[in-house]
Structures are given as structure tokens and as C-alpha cells.
Structure 1
Amino acid sequence: MVAEHPRPEAHPGIEPKKTWRRQVDMAIRSSLPCLFVLLSSFVLSAPFGLPGEAELLFGVGFGTVFFWSAHRPASMPAWAVFLIGLIADLLSFGPPGTILLAFLVAHGVAHTWRYGLSRINFLLAWSALALLALILSLFQWFMACIGALRLMSPAPSLFQAALTIGIYPTLSALFVWAHRAVVNPERT
């Protein structure tokens, strides 16, 4: 049997000089996931009149937080998730605090299970996201019912969960490419 050894680095211990430009470049690259969520939240909260804008805001933010918390937690720290959730919550007109709570729960679950999520195949990770999105969308519906003091239709919450589940494979493919090409500052 032949033992596999990792390929040694071409020049071990040699790194580029840490200039201020390189440090700024590394900071921008590592903050791109957070900037993506903020930009998408601002765009999707604008009154364009697109059907499902509010649900898409939740879906894009939730999928982004889930992916980056599982695959590169340094790019999605808990304090940034809190700020992103707070801004997304202020931009949406849903029950106050529910998007913030959903983003924090997604971050906590993905960050806690990141080693398990990296070992399982995509379909099982997608199933975990689907279950989490369904539970948190129904929680938003429940909070909206409490706020309105009447039983409301759960159809918008189920649509939000379905949209979140349906958009995740596309987001995941985009983020895998971004992780390999752009966001990982140590590779350059």
C-alpha cells in the first residue's frame, strides 16, 4: 500500500508582504458575503412591484447566512449576522424581530453543524435548510397572527419557505464559485 502524503508547498513559509493594500483587499474579500446580503436586502426592499419581493428578501438572506456560516464562518460572524438581520428586519414590513431571529438561528445551526454539513452530500444539507426554513417561516406566520390578534392564512409563509428552499441550489452554486474564486483571501 502506498500512503498518500499531501503535496508540499512550493515555497513553505514564504508569504507576500502584508502591505495595507493587501490587508484592505483581504478585508473586502472576506466581507463580501455580508455585503451581498446587505445589497440584496436593499434591492429587494425597494418598491419595484415584483411579486414575492419580501419573501425573496428572506430567502436570499437566509440561504446566504446558512451557506457562509457553514462553509466559511470567518466571513459571516455572529455580530455581522445580527446587524444584517436587524437591517433586513427594518427594511421589511413583517413582524418585528422575526427575520433577525431567523438569521441568527440559521447562523447558529449552520455554524454548530458545519463539520457535519461539510461531510454530507448536498441533498441532505439542502433538506436541513428546508426543514429550518419551514419552521422559521411558520414561526413568522405565528408571530404575525399574534400581532394581528386573529388567525391569518399560512399561504404567504409557506410560499416564503418554498421560495427559500427553491432558490438555495442556485445560491449555493454561486457561493461555491465565489468561495473558490473570490472570497478566500488566503488563496491569492
Structure 2
Amino acid sequence: MVAENSTPHLHSAVEPKQTLRRRLDMFVRAAMPSLFIILVAVLLSAPFGIPGQAELQFGIAMCTVWFWAFSRPRSMPALAVFVCGLVLELFSFGPPGAILLSLLVIYGVAHHWRYGLSRLGFVACWLIFSFLAALASFFQWALVCLHAFALLSPAPGLFQAALTIGIYPSLTALFVWGRRTFANPDQA
């Protein structure tokens, strides 16, 4: 026997009409994580004089991609990660392609392991993210050393890793709240 896939929708008579405004609202809510990364990239590229401004830009982007890739993958597709990585590359002064590759790798790991990560607790997810953030920071430091043809101090890479790991809990709290409110396409 073949099971029938066309189960009736529970609330089909109650759903609102699909107007252009509602579709646009759903699109903007679904694109909220990508728009957040682009806004942060533009704001933190301005010369505010904040210590660690470039590292904060990278850290916020990594935390955002990690959280949304395993929490709600429809809001952070691979194409959006690629576009966000290109925007970050345009506004950063690091080695070309390092941020884009790091974001795509973090996305691939989070998206591939999303079912396992969703069953883990916060601390376990944070530890896995911490390892990947340290690895990405080491990768960027190695590329900068290769680009400069010299062995540079690893202090900026360690600072970037520590900052990225440190801001993850507060950004996670913000994203959990956002997932239920303004970034939920189902509430459009």
C-alpha cells in the first residue's frame, strides 16, 4: 500500500490571503539574519575607532551564520551566506576570500549537523562553535602570514577567536528572541 502524501492542512480556512504585502513581509522576516550581517558589516566598516572593530565584524557574522544555519536553515540558505561573505569581503581589509571561505565552512558544518546540534544543549553547541571559530581565526592568521611572507604575532588571531567565542552567548539570546518574534516568517 502506498501512503497518501496529501494530508489536509489543519488551518486551511483560517489562513490569511496571500497578498503582495504579506509575501514581502514573509520574505523580509526570512531574510532578517542576512540583513543583520550586512547591516553590521556596513556599520562596523565605518571609522568609529572601536578597538577590535574588524574582529567584531567577523565574530558577529560567524555567530549569525552558525546559529541560523542549524536553527532555521530556511532563513540562512547557502546563497545568502555567500552574498553576506562577499559583502564582508568588500568592507574588510583581511586576506581576500578568508572570511567568505570561513563563513561557508561554518555554514556547511552547522547545516550538515543541524539535527544533531538541535538535540545538544547550549554548552555543547558553544564548544563546537568555539573550536570552529578558533580554527577559522588560525586560518586567517596563517593567510595573513603567508601574504606578508613573515611569521607575524598570533595575538590578533587569538583576540579574534576570543571575541567571537565570547559574544556568542549574548547573540544567541538575541537570536532566540528574534526567531520567535521579528524573524519568524510564519507570523507575517
TM-score (normalised: structure 1):
0.92
Spell out, residue by residue over 1:8-49, the C-alpha distance to the aligned partner (whole angstroms, 9 max, x if none): x98455311101111011011111110000000111111111
Where does residue 178 of structure 1 map in the other structure? 178
Distance 1:48 1:107 in 2: 29
Instruction: List per-residue Cα deviations over 1:88-143 (Å, max 9, x = no partner).
Output: 01211111100001110111011001111110000000001000000010000000
Q: Quick check: 1:82 aligned with 2:96?
A: no
Residue 143 of structure 1 pairs with residue 143 of structure 2: yes
Structure 2 CA distance, aligned partners of 1:11 and 1:95?
51
C-alpha distance in 2 between matches for 1:25 and 1:112: 28
Per the alignment, residue 6 of structure 1 pairs with none
Find the counterpart in structure 2 of residue 35 from structure 1. Answer: 35
- Unpaired runs of 5+ residues, structure 2, are 1-8
Shift in alpha-carbon separation, 1:75–1:152, aligned structure 2, 3 A: same
Q: Does 1:119 align with 2:105?
A: no
Q: Distance in 2 between matches of 1:48 and 1:85?
A: 22
Is 2:103 the partner of 1:103?
yes
What secondary structure does 2:67 align onto?
Answer: helix
Query: Can you list the C-alpha shifts for 1:42-88, whole angstroms capped at 9, x where unaligned?
Result: 11111111100000000000000110111011111101111110110
Provide the identity percentage. Answer: 56
Q: Which residue of 1 aligns with 2:59?
A: 59
Higher relative contact order (CA 8 A, sep 6+): 2
Query: Aligned with 1:153: secondary structure?
Result: coil
Q: Post-superposition shift, 1:187?
A: 3.6
C-alpha RMSD of the superposition: 1.3
Give how far 1:153 is off.
0.5
The 3 A distance-change label for structure 1 pair 109 and 13 is farther
Query: What does 1:7-26 correspond to in 2, within 5 Å?
Result: 11=11, 14-26=14-26
Unmatched segments (≥5 aa) in structure 1: 1-8
How many residue pairs get matched? 180
What is the CA distance between 1:166 and its match in structure 2? 0.2
Mapped partners of 1:113, 1:13: distance in 2 = 36
Give the Cα–Cα distance (whole angstroms) in 2 for the partners of residues 74 and 48 of structure 1.
34
Return the TM-score normalized by structure 2. 0.92
